[in-house]
Structure 1
């Protein structure tokens, strides 16, 4: 299940590589993470803070998207 695989210290680039179906979640929040040079270095917690998102809500959206589309 996604909740056991996502963690606040997971790098954005890894999330996007492993679960490309999460791209719309980033786009919906107007996050520039997709294709960003910092994506390999910034964590989910970092970008949630940078964009002023509630980390739990952000995780819920990512997990929901992963669960809907299934694991890759």
Structure 2
């Protein structure tokens, strides 16, 4: 496990719950994982295999997106609307 907890064994649903900003990575690759009924069960290793992607590169892109957008829950301040 890395220091973020982002590993190949993490499910898509767990990833998106913890770091919702990573949805953009799935969309960039035109992956149907967002809203998929298998998201609670499929790991990142599973989906990269299914989409014929390199796991190491996909994890790197997820980590980069998280680093660029901030920690879990980072976003607009409460009451910004």
The TM-score range, normalised by the shorter chain, is: over 0.9
Q: Please identify the structure whose Cα radius of gyration is greater.
A: 2
Looking at structure 2, the residues matched to 49 and 39 of structure 1 have their Cα atoms a distance apart, in angstroms, of: 14
The CA deviation string for residues 4-60 of structure 1, in whole angstroms up to 9 with x for no partner, is 211111000000111000001000111000000000000000000000000000001
**Of the two structures, which has the highest relative contact order with CA contacts closer than 8 Å and spacing of 6 or more?**
1
Long gaps (5+) in structure 1: none
Runs of 4+ deviating beyond 3 Å:
none
Q: Could you say which structure has the higher helix fraction?
A: 1
Long gaps (5+) in structure 2: 73-81
TM-score w.r.t. length of structure 1:
0.93
* Alignment correspondent of 2:58: 58
* Alignment correspondent of 2:70: 70
Alpha-carbon RMSD across the aligned residues, in angstroms, is 0.8
TM-score w.r.t. length of structure 2:
0.83
Aligned residue pair count: 70
